[in-house]
Amino acid sequence: MNHLVIFIRFSVFILILFALLILLYIVSRRVYQQVKDKRFRRRYLQIEEELLNALSATEPESAALLAEKYAKYPKVLTKLLFDYAKVLIGPERDRLKIIFRIALEKKSTRDLSSRRTMRRLQATRLFGFFFDPLKMDFMLKLLNDKPIVRLAAVQAISQLPSAEALSIVFRAFEADSCPNVHSYTSVIFSLGGRAEGYIRETLKNPISLEKIALLIELVGAIPIRSLCQDILPFAGHAEKEIRIKVARALGGLLIPDSVPVLIRMASDEAWEVQAQAIKSLGKLKSPEALDILAGSFYSKNWHVRFNARAGLMNLGEAGVKRLEEIAQQTRDGYAAAMAAMALHDIYLSSESMSS
């Protein structure tokens, strides 16, 4: 027992010492951080003031002078360039590029081969804003890096206006075995109409269902109306998830020609597809859809009924008339109550608008 007591007492001493050391570390880190933050902020404001002058100056050399003057503060400059590159385009962005080339390019190039992922990531992001399209080779190497760096590289490449760059982005997307849906969505969504040809080609290739679904969803979200014919064949896809995406995308494209397809999809075997098709028909506000929308009020599925209600509410006077008919019928009390609710909502919103 005595040995145990001695051992425990020794442990207590070590634990107290350790706790004190942690506390000391926290306090000293706090002091250090506060001093560092204050200094960083002061320098940031100082450089920012000169940067604003350089951006508005008539002679472009002022940017070069600023870069040379503050090259010894790479962290502050990096932060400043990040903050301004997000909001500036055109000639102002070119001046930031000059600062980057003079003050940060060498360091960032070194960082691209750093062992630390975060350094590589930061450098990749920075190059994303400022790299020279002619020197794309080093960016391509990053496509084999860890997913987080790879995505930053894809994002950087996607900023370039060249066809080659876009082809690289889509090749990377096709090759990615475990795509980060959010990141690829951001990248492809930001391409807008430029992605048209690539989405068309990629949809023809043998890619995973997840990727097909993402591309179809983006066609509707961007939206790229010229791709309507390319996604219509997927309306009969065996996989329910794909059909849902097609129905949703058609609601985003708002092409009247797609109404017959959506009407067909409104009778799909899966209620999720029906619900989405009904929702898209409601968005299209097509009089052709009146019957199917009114009919869907009696669907077995609540989601389908709910979307039909929203659809009829969108259809103006004709929709209200149908809602009144449904509210007055007695064979389906639930549908009647739902229609009454829709009419009440229309009344409430018109009352609110008039007041």
Partner 1 sequence: MIQVLIHLFNIFSYLVLVYFLLLNGFYIFFIVLSLFGISHYRHRTEYIRIEEIFLSPLAKPISIIAPAHNEENSIIENVRNLLSLEYPQYEVIVVNDGSTDSTLEKLIEAFDLKKTQWVFRKVVDSKPVRGIYVCPRNPKLIVVDKVNGKKSDAMNAGLNISHYPLFCAIDSDCLLDRDSLLKVVRPFLEDPERTVGVGGIVRLINGCETKSGQITRIRLPRNFLARFQTLEYFRAFLGGRIGMSLIKGLLIISGAFGVFRKDVVLKCGGYRPASIGEDLDLVVRLRKYLHEQKIPYAIHFLPDAICWTEVPETFQALGRQRNRWHRGLIEAFLHNRRMIFNPRYGLTGLFAMPFYLIFELFGPLIELLGYAFFIPCLFLRLVNYPFAFTFFLLSIALGTLLSIAALLLEEFSLRRFSRISDVLLMALFCILENFFYRQYLALVRGKAFLDYLNGKSEWGAMDKKGFAKEIPSP
The residue ranges that bind partner 1 (CB under 8 A) are: 1, 4-5, 8-9, 11-12, 15-16, 18-19, 22-23, 25-27, 29-31, 33, 86, 117-118, 121-122, 125, 148, 152, 180-183, 185-186, 189, 210, 217-218, 221-222, 302, 306, 334, 337-338, 340-341, 344-345, 348-349, 351-352
For 329, the 3-state DSSP assignment is coil
Minimum distance between the CB of residue 93 and partner 1, rounded to whole angstroms? 17
Q: Which C-beta is closer to partner 1: that of 57 or that of 295?
A: 295
Minimum distance between the CB of residue 338 and partner 1, rounded to whole angstroms? 4
Minimum distance between the CB of residue 131 and partner 1, rounded to whole angstroms? 16
Cβ distance 291 to 260 under 8 Å?
no
Cβ distance 209 to 242 under 8 Å?
yes
Q: Which C-beta is closer to partner 1: that of 60 or that of 192?
A: 192
Amino acid at 75: K
Q: Which C-beta is closer to partner 1: that of 53 or that of 186?
A: 186
Minimum distance between the CB of residue 287 and partner 1, rounded to whole angstroms? 26
> Which run of H or E residues covers position 47?
helix 2-56
Among residues 196, 206, 205, 198, the alpha carbon closest in space to that of 228 is found at 196
Minimum distance between the CB of residue 49 and partner 1, rounded to whole angstroms? 25
Cα three-residue angle 129-132-136, rounded to 5 degrees: 100
Q: Which two tokens stand for residue 124?
A: 């990749």
Q: Which C-beta is closer to partner 1: that of 62 or that of 78?
A: 78
Cα distances (angstroms) measured from residue 169 to each of 148, 165, 176, 188: 15, 6, 11, 9
Minimum distance between the CB of residue 46 and partner 1, rounded to whole angstroms? 23
Give the distance, in angstroms, between the CA of residue 91 and the centroid of all CA atoms in the same chain.
27
d(CA 163, CA 173): 15
How crowded is residue 55: how many other Cβ atoms within 10 Å of its Cβ? 18
For 270, the 3-state DSSP assignment is coil
Q: Which C-beta is closer to partner 1: that of 19 or that of 140?
A: 19
Minimum distance between the CB of residue 80 and partner 1, rounded to whole angstroms? 15
Cβ distance 148 to 121 under 8 Å?
yes
Q: Which C-beta is closer to partner 1: that of 63 or that of 268?
A: 268
Minimum distance between the CB of residue 254 and partner 1, rounded to whole angstroms? 15
d(CA 179, CA 109): 27
d(CA 63, CA 50): 9
Q: Which C-beta is closer to partner 1: that of 1 or that of 134?
A: 1
Q: Which C-beta is closer to partner 1: that of 62 or that of 155?
A: 155
Minimum distance between the CB of residue 181 and partner 1, rounded to whole angstroms? 6
Contacts of 33 (CB under 8 A, 6+ apart): none
Cβ distance 274 to 301 under 8 Å?
yes
| Torsion 155-160-163-165 (CA) sign | negative
Amino acid at 271: W
Q: Which C-beta is closer to partner 1: that of 31 or that of 45?
A: 31
The interaxial angle of helices 333-354 and 316-328, nearest 10 deg, is 140
